[in-house]
Copies of this chain bind each other. A is one copy, B any other.
Amino acid sequence: MRIAVDPSTDPADYGFSHQLRVRFAETDAMGIVHHSRYLPMMEEARVAYLRHIGHPYQSIRDEGIEMNVLEAFVQYRQPLLFDDIVDVHTSLATIERASFQMAYLLTVDGAIRATGVTAHGCVTPAGRPTRLPQWFRDLPTR
């Protein structure tokens, strides 16, 4: 396991936050958000973070770089419900030569619902590992 980050449960430890609202289509027959649906929420926050720092994901793809997901981890603490307004706190946790990890904290009205980590590798469109662009390696981690 590559993931070695223990995501903080304090929103102040995250440098960026993205808000979204739970869709009915994301719930399951237990009346809560299905556990697989947290990953697209974290992805949406990751994409919003890249846009926020001036490097929209599509522009990165246009540069010939894909950011593969190598690993994903989610800890479900309290269920998300239909129509919840979720703050997905996001930070860049670690940066290596050709990979990085991001941490996530999901809250609703300030109450903790879940944490997560994703590990990404930088690859060419042909799938060959490649270095992260310099601007990315210069980003602040926390």
Q: Which residues of chain A have a CB within 8 Å of any CB of chain B?
A: 1-3, 6, 23-25, 27-32, 34-37, 39-40, 43-44, 47, 56-58, 66, 68-76, 82-83
Q: How many copies of this chain sit in the oligomeric assembly? A: 4
Closest chain B residue to A37 by CB distance? B36
Contact assessment for B31 and A40 in the assembled complex, using a CB-CB cutoff below 8 Å: no
Most B Cβ at <10 Å: residue of A3, A43, A56? A43
Name the one of B29, B32, B43, B71 contacting A36, with C-beta atoms under 8 angstroms. B43
Shortest CB–CB separation between residue A75 and chain B, in angstroms?
5
Contacts of A25 in B (CB 8 A): 28, 34, 36, 39-40, 43-44
Tell me which residues across on chain B come within 8 A of A58, comparing CB atoms.
Answer: 82-83
